[in-house]
Amino acid sequence: MRLLLALLLLPLFSVAQQLTGEQLLERAIAYHDPQGNWETFNGILYVTMETPNSDPRNSEIQINLPQEFFKVVATQGDRETLYQIDRGACSIGLNGDMDLTPTELKENNLSCERATLYKNYYTYLYGLPMKLKDPGTYVDPTVTEVAFKGKTYMRLKVTYEETVGTDIWFFYFDPTTFAMEVYQFYKGDPEDKGKDTGEYILLSDEVEISGIKIPKDRAWYYNKGDKYLGTDLLFTSGFKSN
């Protein structure tokens, strides 16, 4: 029986091994964004972040790529923060107050630099794998077949221009559907000093927004020791009821 299964899977993995990095990326994008809608994405994401020993953080995230508009309103406990970038213009709010003094901004660790960080963070992670086509992104031409958490994947290695980012990323795709199911990053070469750095993220379930298949739940772990960090839960029409 095992021999028969191996023979049935052989053609599949032979094809997988023949793909270049760019070809694998194109197939993954065809699965997640078959109509090419990401470039004109205009929608709202509702994300609940659950972490051990902390209150959940609910973030309402508005992304309008054609209008160069980004806004995130995050609520955790009795604290609500607002970050907005509208065609480069930054706005910040705290508990409904949009007229904060420089001292208040500093005391609450609020800044336009942080607003840009959130914009880049959310548009990158929820725009994957399409964001791997961005300038300054280098897709390794070699596709590696690897086992991770008990499943065989096609793995793509990605690095970036130094001005974009210095981490080394790996993306794991289902060899049949080309769905993205895991991604992982290291703060340096994982074969050397970087092996105990960074995190991996397990993706489960999907939601469809604007014709794009987006992973619904993201569970974060340290690469070193597999320590669980938290889970981001994505909703399409408001946060889940407690």
Cα angle: 160, vertex 46, 127; to 5 degrees: 25
Co-location of 23 and 62 in the same domain: no
Q: Report the number of distinct structural domains present in the chain.
A: 2
Q: Which two tokens stand for residue 37?
A: 């809608």
**117 lies in the same domain as 228:** no
Q: Which residues are registered as beta bridge partners of 220?
A: 201, 230
Task: List, in sequence order, every beta strand (DSSP E) within the chain.
Answer: 42-50, 57-64, 69-76, 79-86, 89-94, 137-139, 144-148, 151-160, 168-173, 180-186, 199-209, 212-222, 228-235
Q: Which two tokens stand for residue 30?
A: 């065809």
**Which residue from 66, 98, 69 is spatially nearest to 81, judged by alpha carbons?**
98
Query: Per the domain annotation, does 155 fall within a domain?
Result: yes
Whether residue 195 lies inside any domain: the answer is yes
7 located within any domain? no
Q: Which mean pLDDT values do the consecutive 10-residue runs of the chain (242 residues) have?
A: 49 64 98 98 97 96 98 97 98 97 97 97 97 98 96 98 94 98 96 93 97 98 97 87 52
- Which of 108, 70, 104, 109 has the alpha carbon at shortest distance from 90? 70
**Do residues 64 and 90 both lie within one domain?**
yes
Inter-residue contact 32 to 85 (CB < 8 Å): no
Longest dimension (CA), the chain: 71
pLDDT recorded at residue 137? 98
- Say if 25 falls within a structural domain: yes
86 and 196 share a domain? no
Q: Are residues 31 and 73 in the same domain?
A: no
Rounded to a whole number of angstroms, the CA Rg of the chain reads 20
Q: Which pLDDT score is estimated for 239?
A: 76
Q: Which domain holds residue 76?
A: 42-126
Question: Can you give the pTM of this predicted structure?
Answer: 0.90
Contact 76, 56 (CB under 8 A): yes
Asked if residue 2 is part of any domain, the answer here is: no
Same domain, 119 and 139: no
**Do 29 and 140 sit in the same domain of this protein?**
yes
What pLDDT is attached to residue 15? 53
Do 160 and 110 share a structural domain? Answer: no
Residue 218 lies in a domain: yes
Q: Which residue, among 127, 167, 136, has the nearest Cα to 29 in the 3D structure?
A: 127
Question: What pLDDT is attached to residue 17?
Answer: 61
CB 194 within 8 A of CB 208: no
In a shared domain, residues 112 and 148 = no
Q: What is the pLDDT of residue 7?
A: 45
Q: Which of 71, 105, 126 is the last residue of a domain?
A: 126
Distance of CA 95 to the CA centre of its chain: 28
143 in any annotated domain = yes
Do 70 and 160 have their domain in common?
A: no
Instruction: Look up tokens 């596709």; give the residue.
Output: 143
67 and 159 assigned to the same domain: no
How many Cβ atoms sit within 10 Å of the Cβ of residue 187?
A: 15
Residue 170 lies in a domain: yes
